[in-house]
Amino acid sequence: MEKDKHIYGILQEELERCRGMVISLQKELSNLPKGSVHRREKKYGKKKYIYHYLKYRQSGKSVSKYIAKKELEGVIQKLQDRKCFEKEMNCYTARMKYLEKISKV
C-alpha cells in the first residue's frame, strides 16, 4: 500500500502539534501543586480547631503541609487546574499513540 504524501504530512503535523501541547502541559503541571487537601480537627480544652493541609508523596514518603485559611481557595483551584491539565495531557498522549500507529501503516 502506497502512502499518500499529503495525508502523511498532515498526520506528521498533527503529531508535532500534539507533542508541543504535551510539553507545554508538562511545564504547566510542574508549576502546580500535587496531592489533595485534607481537613483536621484538633481539640484544645473545650475548643475545637479546624485546619487544612496538603497531602502528597515525595520520594516515596507521604508529606503533609499546612495550608493557611487565606491560601486554601487558591490551593484548591490550583489542584483542580492540575487535574484538568492531567486529563488533557492524557488525551494528547493517547492521540499521539494513535497517530504514530496509523502513520506507520
Cα(88)–Cα(9) distance, integer angstroms? 24
Task: Read off the pLDDT of residues 47-58 as tens digits, 9 standing for 90 and up.
Answer: 999 999 999 999
State mean pLDDT over 63-71.
94
Range of the domain at 98: 5-104
- Please report the pLDDT score of residue 3 as a whole number: 65
For residue 95, name the pLDDT band (cuts at 50, 70, 90). Answer: very high
The number of folded domains in the chain is 1
Q: What is the mean pLDDT of residues 74-85?
A: 96
**Which band of pLDDT confidence, cut at 50, 70 and 90, is reported for residue 105?**
low
Contacts of residue 31, Cβ cutoff 8 Å, sequence gap at least 6: none
Mean pLDDT of the chain: 92
